[in-house]
């Protein structure tokens, strides 16, 4: 069986106050997404958001339905966002082949029955990072190349948060039901992402950290603004951010991350920003 999954239930902010390091990591950290020829998924009960990774090396890998969906096929009632963080590969959606190079993305609409992932070369495989959310409508499947994204420059070197944010799957780029995805890259010499920090009680979020150099790590901050906690993250690990939690990080070097969101609205800018001196 090449598909495996794990379920994560929702935790309340009151409950999380009492978590020790191990429990915090067990509830929110997603450690192993990429294994050769496997599809690894984590099903979160926050907005029923699925986070996954596929690393096809010696064979192609299909997106099979998993038991919690109680569905005939994975996308029967879901939409899917894919960003390739590896080398060239293909995603075949009901017979149509989409070539995805490094940092190219694909939105796959609800109702597609067969999704198959493959690498162009076993020596330099593709690495497909996936986010999937429940969907109420079948929007067309669309490839988003690196020139199709919306780019914003944020922060400054003086505050160690200079970064480039790229919006891939947002409703100004592609029609979606609720999924939003993008990528943020921290510039050399900066370390902070999403600072000033924010919450959006209307949407949950998942951060996937990558391009973290060997021997370096990212410290991810979560929790209510007046009750923060941290989780040390390694390269290619993801972390679930509950709707009530900040999601911000500081690395021991620069790095990139993919953010994915789902929930009540599609308004990327709908955030409640927290003044930095108010954080506790
Ligand atoms: O660097 C940032 O700031 C981000 O990338 C923020 C995320 O996109 C986010 O949290 C959106 O709600
Ligand atoms: Zn956010």
d(CA 199, CA 203): 9
Tens-digit pLDDT profile for residues 46-95: 999 999 999 999 999 999 999 999 999 999 999 999 999 999 999 999 99
Token pair recorded at residue 117: 């992932």
Share of the chain above pLDDT 70, in %: 100
Stretch 105-115: mean pLDDT: 98
ipTM over 0.90: yes
Is the pLDDT confidence value at 261 over 80? yes
Question: Which residue is closest in CA terms to ligand 1's atom 4?
Answer: 194
Pocket test for ligand 1, best of 184, 191, 198 (most atoms within 8 A of CB): 184
Average pLDDT, integer, range 195-202: 98
The domain made up of 11-278 has a fold known as Jelly Rolls (2.60.120)
Instruction: Supply the residue whose CA is at minimum distance from atom 2 of ligand 1.
Output: 194
What mean pLDDT, rounded, does the chain reach? 98
Say how many residues make up the chain. Answer: 280
Q: How far apart are CA 268 and CA 167, in angstroms?
A: 9
Residue 85 near residue 102, CB atoms below 8 Å: yes
Distance CA 206, CA 165 (A): 15
Q: What is the mean pLDDT of residues 175-202?
A: 98
Reply yes or no on whether the pLDDT at 240 is more than 80.
yes
Tell whether 205 is in a known binding site.
yes
Residue 129 reports pLDDT greater than 90: yes
b/e per residue 228-256 (b: at least 16 CB within 10 A): bbebebeebbbbbbbbbbbbbbbbebbbb
Instruction: List pocket residues of ligand 1, CB cut-off 6 Å.
Output: 154, 163, 165, 182, 184, 193-194, 200, 205, 247, 259, 261, 271
| 100 within 8 A of 82, measured Cβ to Cβ | yes
pLDDT at 277: 98
Q: Look at residue 268 and tell me whether its pLDDT is greater than 90.
A: yes
Ligand 1 atom nearest to 271, measured from its CA: 12
Neighbour tally for 58: CB within 10 Å: 9
* Nearest CA, atom 7, ligand 1: 259
Q: Is there a contact between 109 and 141 (Cβ–Cβ < 8 Å)?
A: yes
> Is 230 known to sit in a ligand binding site?
no
Q: How confident is the model over 217-227, as pLDDT tens digits?
A: 999 999 999 99
Does 1 have pLDDT greater than 90? Answer: no
Please choose, from the candidates 218, 221, 215, 210, the residue with its C-alpha nearest in 3D space to the C-alpha of residue 274: 221
pLDDT of residue 6: 98
Ligand 1, residue 163: give the atom nearest the CA: 1
Least Cα distance to 125 among 183, 213, 54, 63 occurs for 54
């Amino acid at each position: 069986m090449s598909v495996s999954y794990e379920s994560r239930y929702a935790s309340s902010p009151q409950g999380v106050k009492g978590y020790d390091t191990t429990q915090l990591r067990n509830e929110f950290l997603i450690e192993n997404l990429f294994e050769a020829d496997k599809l690894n998924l984590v099903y979160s009960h926050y907005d029923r958001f699925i986070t996954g990774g596929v690393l096809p090396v010696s064979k192609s890998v299909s997106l099979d339905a998993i038991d919690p969906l109680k569905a005939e096929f994975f996308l029967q009632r879901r939409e899917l966002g894919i960003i390739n963080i590896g080398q060239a590969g293909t995603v075949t959606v009901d017979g149509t082949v989409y070539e995805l190079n490094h940092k190219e993305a694909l939105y796959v609409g609800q109702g597609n029955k067969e999704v198959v992932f493959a690498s162009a070369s076993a020596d330099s495989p593709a690495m497909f990072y996936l986010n999937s959310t429940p969907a109420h409508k079948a929007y067309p499947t669309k490839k988003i190349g690196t020139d199709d994204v919306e780019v914003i420059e944020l922060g400054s070197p003086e505050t160690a948060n200079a970064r480039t944010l790229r919006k891939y799957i947002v409703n100004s780029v592609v029609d979606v039901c609720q999924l939003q995805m993008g990528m943020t890259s921290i510039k050399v010499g900066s370390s902070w992402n999403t600072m000033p920090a924010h919450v959006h009680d209307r949407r949950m979020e998942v951060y996937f950290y990558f391009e973290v150099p060997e021997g370096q790590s990212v410290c991810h901050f979560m929790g209510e603004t007046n009750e923060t906690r941290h989780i040390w993250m390694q390269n290619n690990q993801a972390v679930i951010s509950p709707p009530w939690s900040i999601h911000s990080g500081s690395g021991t070097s620069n790095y990139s991350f993919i953010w994915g969101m789902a929930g009540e609205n599609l308004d990327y800018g709908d955030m409640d920003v927290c003044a930095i001196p108010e954080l506790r």
